[in-house]
Structure 1
Amino acid sequence: MLLLSFPAAAFETNCYVVAPEAGGPCLIVDPGIGVVDQLGEVLREHRLEPQAVLLTHGHADHTWSVTPVCDASGIPALIHTDDAYRLRDPLGELGPQLVAMLEQQFGQSATWTEPSDARTFADHDTVSFADLTLTVEHAPGHTEGSVLFRLPQADGPELCFAGDVLFAGSIGRTDLPGGDHAAMQRSLRDRVLPLADDTVVLPGHGPATTIGRERASNPFLAGLVAGHTGG
């Protein structure tokens, strides 16, 4: 398995590229703000051909570059059905002040068009591209359509692209439009904690971690861990 990642130019959103091996098809997860050039360099360096873009949720810091990335390669963008509306106008949810800040930082007007090929998935769906099959786990709370993408490895622990559901030492905020604290608590209890301890968590921001490490030390999981026997 080839797994590559780098932070976007704003908000340090992790963009991931995953492939069975170099020199073949790949998937892209969460192409955020200002990633187009660096992503292109990564794809050329490893001789990768993108087959699809997967979105852990619809916030603009995770979707900003989805249209140029998808349309340049003629590939689909996939998002949970409950967050599909966010692809219609992600700039609107940022507010004018934040949009103006980004325009000043990048020296160009912020514009938006939906990807030409936008598709949706639902809870427990499997997504198969680039000789990889990922399972979708709906985990609302940060947004209505936040998900975990679970990817088993034949020779290692399962990978979990967690978006903004779970971070190393923290969890995603629930005070933004579409956030729901009670839903987040249920997602952590029912979707995150049952994962095996050696599951590698690849979050939307910050360093990778494992479920076991978060189960033992993440204060936001502490009240939910009691009685769990581990993976």
Structure 2
Amino acid sequence: MTSLIHDLAHVTVRQVAVGDMDNNVYLITAKASGAQVLIDAADDLPALQALLAEGAADSGAPTKLELIATTHQHWDHVRALEGLVEATGARTAAGRQDVSGIPVPVDVVLDHGDVYTCGEVSAGAQEHGGFDLTAVHLRGHTPGSIAYVLKDDDGPHLIFSGDSLFPGGVGNTQKDPDRFHLLIGDVITRLFDVYPDDAVVYPGHGRPTTLGAERPHLDDWRARGW
């Protein structure tokens, strides 16, 4: 079974599920430069290293893990983070309000709307062998949860949503109405109101969906309160 889920013009995306909670880990590789970002070093360091080895075949240049991007601070999303940093020397990124809960120093502190350019580029990421990831701050599941959005020329927007958006609803807010209203408000205004229906949502656990498949149910989610 292949880990490859997208083979786009400038990048590939690979995915593996790890650990007892079946956490999804995603690897983006720039075809021209070999620059890579891994999203959520959740568990099972050998499996993550195998994923990196598979990603090495996706580039004509030597690959290098440039950044480990964490969607949020919960323990099941960071269990292999320290080991992967030690093994690769990669920089780390996380949302500002979750930094204190990340078990390693955070090199790139993200706020809503920040754009991280992976790869050594001078102007226009894709023309020079890199790619851009846009940080979307989604409050509620944790204070600093970040969704990472990737757009390549020939494909849809890809939204790596962590535990903030799944098929069938938003993430767990422990029945706290204030946190729920924060989360669904951010998901609607910062994802559904910004990105098109063909945007693919890749959550922290389970199967992907699209914004178009979920959009008709937003009122139902709000009414039920979870």
> Cα RMSD over matched residues?
2.3
Contact 1:5 1:17 (C-alpha < 8 Å) held by counterparts? yes
Contact 1:140 1:187 (C-alpha < 8 Å) held by counterparts? yes
Q: Identify the residue that residue 201 of structure 2 maps to in structure 1.
A: 201
Q: Identify the residue that residue 73 of structure 2 maps to in structure 1.
A: 58
Contact 2:135 2:147 (C-alpha < 8 Å) held by counterparts? yes
Cα distance in 2 for partners of 1:52, 1:59 equals 19
Q: Identify the residue that residue 192 of structure 1 maps to in structure 2.
A: 191
**Superposition deviation, residue 216 in structure 1:** 2.8
**Superposition deviation, residue 148 in structure 1:** 1.4
Against the structure 1 CA distance between its residues 176 and 5, is the aligned structure 2 distance closer, same or farther, given a 3 Å change threshold?
farther
Cα distance in 1 for partners of 2:48, 2:133 equals 21
Structure 1's unaligned 5+ residue stretches are 89-113, 225-231
**Superposition deviation, residue 2 in structure 1:** 0.8
Contact 2:113 2:134 (C-alpha < 8 Å) held by counterparts? yes
Please say if 1:216 is aligned against 2:226: no
* TM-score in terms of structure 1 length: 0.77
The one-letter code matched in structure 1 to 2:165 is L
Cα distance in 2 for partners of 1:193, 1:206 equals 20
Please say if 1:9 is aligned against 2:8: no
Cα distance in 2 for partners of 1:73, 1:65 equals 12
What are the Cα deviations for residues 64-101 of structure 1, in whole angstroms up to 9, with x where unaligned? Answer: 1111112211111100110001114xxxxxxxxxxxxx
Please say if 1:83 is aligned against 2:98: yes
**Superposition deviation, residue 129 in structure 1:** 1.5
Contact 2:29 2:55 (C-alpha < 8 Å) held by counterparts? no
Against the structure 1 CA distance between its residues 127 and 150, is the aligned structure 2 distance closer, same or farther, given a 3 Å change threshold?
same
Percentage of identical aligned residues: 27
Cα distance in 2 for partners of 1:222, 1:60 equals 28
Q: Identify the residue that residue 150 of structure 1 maps to in structure 2.
A: 149
SS at match of 1:212: helix
Q: Identify the residue that residue 172 of structure 1 maps to in structure 2.
A: 171
SS at match of 2:46: helix
Contact 2:151 2:157 (C-alpha < 8 Å) held by counterparts? yes
Q: Identify the residue that residue 123 of structure 2 maps to in structure 1.
A: none
Cα distance in 2 for partners of 1:152, 1:121 equals 18
The one-letter code matched in structure 2 to 1:214 is E
**Superposition deviation, residue 182 in structure 1:** 2.0
Contact 1:188 1:221 (C-alpha < 8 Å) held by counterparts? no
The one-letter code matched in structure 2 to 1:168 is P
* TM-score in terms of structure 2 length: 0.79
Cα distance in 2 for partners of 1:83, 1:13 equals 19
Q: Identify the residue that residue 95 of structure 1 maps to in structure 2.
A: none
Q: Is 140-149 or 188-197 further displaced after alignment? A: 188-197
SS at match of 2:15: strand
The one-letter code matched in structure 2 to 1:42 is L
Q: Identify the residue that residue 36 of structure 2 maps to in structure 1.
A: 26
Structure 2's unaligned 5+ residue stretches are 1-10, 57-62, 120-129
Q: Identify the residue that residue 129 of structure 1 maps to in structure 2.
A: 118
